[in-house]
Amino acid sequence: MEVILQPNEEAAAALVARIVAHELRTNPHLVLGLATGKTMERVYRRLVGLHKDEHLDFSLCSTFNLDEYVGLFPSDPNSYRHYMEHHLFRQVNIDPRNTHLPNGMATDLEAECRNYEALIHRFGGIDLQLLGIGKAGHIGFNEPLSALRSRTRVKALTPTTLKQNAAGFGGEDKVPRRAITMGVGTIIEARRCILLATGGSKSEVISQAVEGPITSMVTASALQLHPRCTVIVDEAAAAGLKEKDYYRWIFDNEPEWQEYR
Percent helix, strand and coil across the chain, each rounded to 5?
45, 15, 40
Among 19, 66, 128, 205, binds ligand GLP (CB under 6 A): 66
- From the list 37-45, 53-61, 100-108, 143-151, the region that binds ligand GLP by CB under 6 A is 37-45
Choice between 135 and 192, CB closer to ligand GLP: 135
> Of residues 58, 83, 116, 141, which one binds ligand GLP by CB under 6 A?
141
Q: Which residues pair with 168 in a beta bridge?
A: none
- How many binding residues for ligand GLP (CB under 6 A)? 14
Is 161 an interacting residue with respect to ligand GLP (CB under 6 A)?
yes
Asked if 134 touches ligand GLP (CB under 6 A), the answer is yes
Q: How far is CA 94 from CA 20, 51, 84, 217, in A?
A: 14, 10, 12, 36
Q: Is 171 left (phi over 0), alpha (psi -120 to 50) or beta?
A: left
- The least CB distance from residue 153 to ligand GLP, in Å, is 14
- Segment near ligand GLP (CB under 6 A), from 34-42, 49-57, 92-100, 250-258? 34-42
Q: Indicate the residue among 8 and 253 with the shorter CB distance to ligand GLP.
A: 8
* Cβ 77 vs Cβ 83: under 8 Å: no
Element at 3 (helix H, strand E): strand 2-6
| DSSP structural state of residue 158 | P
Three-state secondary-structure class, residue 149: coil
Question: Measured between alpha carbons, how far is 165 from 72 in angstroms, rounded to an integer?
Answer: 14
| DSSP E strand boundaries for 13-150 | 31-34, 62-65, 67-69, 99-100, 128-131
Q: Convert residues 87-126 into a mask of x (bound to ligand GLP by CB under 6 A) and - (unbound).
A: ----------------------------------------
Stretch that binds ligand GLP, among 107-115, 132-140, 203-211, 228-236 (CB under 6 A): 132-140
Would you say 6 or 165 has its CB closer to ligand GLP?
A: 165
**Chain residues in the site for ligand GLP (CB under 6 A):** 35-39, 66-67, 132-134, 140-141, 161, 165
